[in-house]
Amino acid sequence: MDKWRKLNGEILRAPIKEAVEQTIIRETEAGHRLKVCIGSDSQVRTGVVEFATVIVFLREKKGGFMFINNSKMEARIGLKERMILEVAKSVEIAYHLCDLLDKYHVELEVHADINTDPAFQSNRALREAMGYILSMGFVFKAKPDAFASTSCADKVV
């Protein structure tokens, strides 16, 4: 997870942790109260699984913006395994950033693109994903509240 960019395509030159810290400092100095939501989504295209992981910065009552990481892997995997891989990517970056977010008192949520309705196939991964995220000490959100995964990452995968 080393190549990150902004939505406009601009590549982040600094390591992600440094870029996030610079962003928190800049936004706080501008008077914004921040919340960070991390989520991932994936698509399968002819034997290749494409992932997008996003770090969404929400400015309280002032909109937001995101950093994006795209990756690919050649594999034939089932839906449940793919959902767990998405969650693992989100947890990995959340874990990497959590000390920094704690330092600046920035709230963190990890979003999973998993449906809470048992009628949907992705629901089969819900228990494992929720357990994984909560056991790491993170706040967990699933559909319909998981906009970082379902709306943001979904658009850039």
Contacts of 47 (CB under 8 A, 6+ apart): 74, 75, 76
Cα separation, 97 vs 58, in Å, equals: 16
pTM of structure: 0.94
Decide: 157 and 53 in contact? Cβ < 8 Å.
no
Strands 107-115 and 64-74: unpaired
Instruction: Residue 39: give the domain boundaries.
Output: 5-156
Question: What pLDDT is recorded for position 122?
Answer: 86
Decide: 6 and 68 in contact? Cβ < 8 Å.
yes
Which whole number is the average pLDDT over 6-33? 97
Nearest residue to 32 (alpha-carbon basis) of 58, 71, 1, 12: 58
We report the CATH number of the domain holding residue 115 as 3.30.420
Decide: 89 and 148 in contact? Cβ < 8 Å.
no
Question: What pLDDT is recorded for position 43?
Answer: 95
Question: What pLDDT is recorded for position 46?
Answer: 87
pLDDT digits (tens, 9 = 90+) for 83-127: 999 999 999 999 999 999 999 999 999 999 998 998 888 888 899
Give whole-number Cα distances, 146 to 6, 54, 105, 113, in Å: 20, 12, 21, 7
Total of domains in the chain: 1
